[in-house]
C-alpha cells in the first residue's frame, strides 16, 4: 500500500513539473501584455518566478504613470524585490514578452537575475543590439518562447495606431 502512495506521489510531482514550463509562465506574461493592450499601452507583459511561483506581475504603464521608465520589466522586478525583501533576484526568472531594452537589461544586471526568458526579439531597441554584454554574467537567457504570439500583440498595437492616424 505504501508503495502505491509513493508511486502516486511521484506521478503527481511529475505532472506538477509539467505545469511549470517556460511556455506556461510566458502565457502568464502574455496575459499581462493583453492588459497593456487593453489600456492603450505598448503590449509588453512580465512575470517574475521564484521556485516555480509567480511572485510579481506587471505590464507596460508608461502612459498611465506618465513615466518613460515604467516598462513591464522594471515594474515586475521592483515588485519582486519588494516581495522578497531583497534587491537581488538571483534565484528568480523573469518572463517577458518582448526582448528587454538597454535600460531594462541594465536593471536586470543590477538585480543579478538568474534567468531571463523572452518572447519576441526587439529589432529596434532590444539589448542584444548593443555589443557590450549588459546582463549579469551568470544570467541564463532563453529566447523565442511564444515569440509569434508576442509579436502578434505588438503588430496589432502598431496597426491600430496607424489605422487611427489614417
Neighbours of 84 (CB within 10 A): 16
Say which of 28, 73, 99, 149 is annotated catalytic. 73
63 is catalytic: no
Q: 139: Cβ–Cβ under 8 A, 6 or more apart, which residues?
A: 108, 109, 112, 113, 114, 115, 116
Q: Read off the DSSP letter of residue 126.
A: B
Neighbours of 42 (CB within 10 A): 19
Distances (CA, A) of 154 to 42, 99, 117, 136: 7, 12, 17, 27
Neighbours of 142 (CB within 10 A): 13
Neighbours of 117 (CB within 10 A): 22
Active-site residue numbers? Answer: 73
Amino acid at each position: 500500500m505504501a508503495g502505491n502512495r509513493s508511486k502516486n506521489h511521484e506521478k503527481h510531482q511529475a505532472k506538477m513539473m509539467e505545469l511549470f514550463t517556460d511556455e506556461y509562465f510566458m502565457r502568464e506574461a502574455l496575459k499581462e501584455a493583453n492588459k497593456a493592450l487593453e489600456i492603450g499601452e505598448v503590449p509588453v507583459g512580465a512575470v517574475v518566478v521564484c521556485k516555480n511561483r509567480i511572485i510579481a506581475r506587471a505590464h507596460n504603464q508608461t502612459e498611465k504613470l506618465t513615466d518613460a521608465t515604467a516598462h513591464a520589466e522594471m515594474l515586475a522586478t521592483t515588485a519582486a524585490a519588494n516581495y522578497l525583501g531583497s534587491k537581488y533576484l538571483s534565484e528568480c526568472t523573469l518572463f517577458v514578452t518582448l526582448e528587454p531594452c538597454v535600460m531594462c537589461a541594465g536593471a536586470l544586471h543590477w538585480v543579478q537575475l538568474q534567468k531571463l526568458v523572452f518572447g519576441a526579439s526587439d529589432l529596434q531597441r532590444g539589448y542584444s543590439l548593443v555589443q557590450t554584454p549588459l546582463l549579469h554574467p551568470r544570467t541564463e537567457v532563453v529566447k523565442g518562447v511564444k515569440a509569434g504570439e508576442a509579436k502578434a500583440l505588438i503588430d496589432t498595437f502598431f496597426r491600430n495606431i496607424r489605422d487611427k492616424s489614417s
